[in-house]
Amino acid sequence: MTPEHQVVTVLGVPLDLGVSKLGVDMGPTAIRYAGIFEALAYAGLNFVDAGDLDVARNFALDHLPPREREKAKLDEIIRVSELLAQRVGNARRRGELPIVLGGDHSTAIGAIAGVASTCERLGVLWIDAHPDANTPETSPSGNIHGMPLAVSLGRGIAELVQCGGFAPKVRPEDVCIVGARDIDPGEAAFLHQMGVRLFTTYDIQNMGLHPVMDQALEAVSRRTDAVYVSFDTDAIEGAVAPGTGIVTRGGLSYREISYIMQYIGQNLEFAAMDVIEINPLLDVRNQTAELAVELLMAALGVRYTDYERRYLAANRPVEH
């Protein structure tokens, strides 16, 4: 839900150093090509394209020996996280609404730090097939995109935990995960120990989507003065959103994810949002990025149909 006259600031983070598969660094471009700015303009929202952060890419480090390569990746994620925290924090202090386009989910480390620096108490709504609450000790892969929620809660790699110069960024009782279905044993134990609220896809089927979202928004907003929404496209069923890094069966249907975003758009004035893990190399005719634009608009409180998307695409100015 976007307050009237608030400027929406769109910032791309082409970060792929936290994953094993190549391609998510092209996510911001795919979302731009899918028509995010045409949609914002069509809705009458004020917006600015803040461009992309300058990020080293995975393939650029291939020449390094494995140990040096892993250190270089971590160093770059730390640098990008600090820079992103500054950019998001500054946008918030100007009264803008940051929308962060990923990139892999380690992007959320800096974005959450930036929002947390501008408020007294932050809530985090995490829409994802994975809780991303691993630490280096519990992670089966060692990939940092599986760690950002744990980092934001104050656990994990020290330099990332201290992003922005303070920790933790969020209290466990102010976090809610929605749509999880692929949870590692170590992070399950961590979440239970911390007391983080979690609604799996089974819970959604068992309880119903409306009660889940009602409780989720209450959990992240009741005690807080700002809420960050993190949206990983792998929460969606793979047949609906194939262009994402980790596709597992049993994801949220189109109706379910549409309802979730519409519910957010009608009931939550969030402080910032990310759209994460779109991989054009795995997509089909950019349909995942197009869906992401539709869902983002719903979260902003705007009805944006497939007909409108196709109309805008057909009337897009030709670039010379």
The reply to whether 145 belongs to the active site is: yes
Q: Which of these is catalytic: 232, 237, 256, 283?
A: 232
CA distance 103 to 32: 13
Residue 16 is a catalytic residue: no
**186, 136 contact by CB (below 8 A):** no
- Give yes or no: 277 in active site: yes
SS3 66: helix
132 included as an active-site residue: yes
Q: Is 62 a catalytic residue?
A: no
Q: Per the residue annotation, which of 25, 96, 104, 128 is the catalytic one?
A: 128
Please pick, among 174, 184, 234, 290, the residue that the annotation labels catalytic: 234
Residue 63 a catalytic site member:
no
Cis peptide before 168 (omega within 30 of 0): yes
Token code pair at residue 6: 């608030």
The amino acid at 108: A
Q: Could you tell me the two tokens for 226?
A: 């700002």
Catalytic residue among 82, 132, 187, 237: 132
Return d(Cα 55, Cα 76) in angstroms, integer.
8
DSSP state of 38: H
How far are the Cα atoms of 40, 125, 249, 274 from residue 108, in angstroms, in the given order?
A: 23, 12, 24, 7
CA distance 141 to 51: 31
Dihedral Cα 297, 239, 32, 278, nearest 10 deg: 110
| CB contact set of 239 (below 8 Å; sequence gap of 6+) | none
> C-alpha distances in angstroms, 243 versus 57, 212, 213?
19, 26, 25
d(CA 239, CA 241): 6
Which is catalytic among the residues 76, 82, 96, 130? 130
Best CA proximity match to 287, nearest among 233, 221, 232, 243: 243
> Could you give phi then psi for residue 17, rounded to 5 degrees?
-80, -10
Look up 192 and say whether it is catalytic.
no
> Is 49 noted as a catalytic residue in this protein?
no
Catalytic residue among 25, 187, 277, 290: 277
Catalytically annotated residue among 38, 76, 96, 145: 145
Q: What's at 230, amino acid-wise?
A: S
Which residue type does 134 have? Answer: N
- Which positions are annotated as active-site residues? 105, 128, 130, 132, 145, 232, 234, 277
